[in-house]
A and B are shown apart, each in its own frame.
Chain A
Amino acid sequence: KAGVTQTPRYLIKTRGQQVTLSCSPISGHRSVSWYQQTPGQGLQFLFEYFSETQRNKGNFPGRFSGRQFSNSRSEMNVSTLELGDSALYLCASSLERPGETQYFGPGTRLLVL
């Protein structure tokens, strides 16, 4: 099976802009989780989607949002970008629950100038 894929791999944006990142899970996986990875904070949970519904949410401001489509592909959106949003954004997929084995995508590296 193909692994988890993410697009784009790299992005450069300026403060105030908005960005949309995409994640395609492993075929048959219905749960998609998103994480923000920064050197200082490690891997922080953003949210998790299952069956087109947000099932879990981490402690991030409302500028961070996401959605999931009927084919389990997921997108996350960050509006009004801030310098501190510069990070590696990783998505991970699992069969049905976030507590099952999660497989990570390669990530999207976002730089906000």
Chain B
Amino acid sequence: EVQLVQSGGEVREPGESLKISCTASGYSFSNYWIAWLRQMPEKGLEWLGIIYPTDSDTRYSPSFQGQVTISADKSISTAYLQWSSLKASDTAIYYCARRSDGRSLDYWGQGTLVTVSS
């Protein structure tokens, strides 16, 4: 069974750094792109970027380039999303999702709530 399990919710103050994770199981992690998406409170879905674990080829949405960093460790089947300096506007639920062979996103993590507040 394919599963993506994300790390737990986080509370940080503005200016702090953060790294959240997405651990895959039930398939060959290296062979599928992993995407990260954001959902701000009561808002729609936004695509942040995507990584191919085999070679760490990473693409970012122009809206998020330079704002976040996506990485992966194929030895432990885990993808990461990180911030170097959080802002209150980063408060949101963040999802990871697997890009299917058909190019859509077929499996999703349960989401990680990131709260940034002083």
A binds B: no
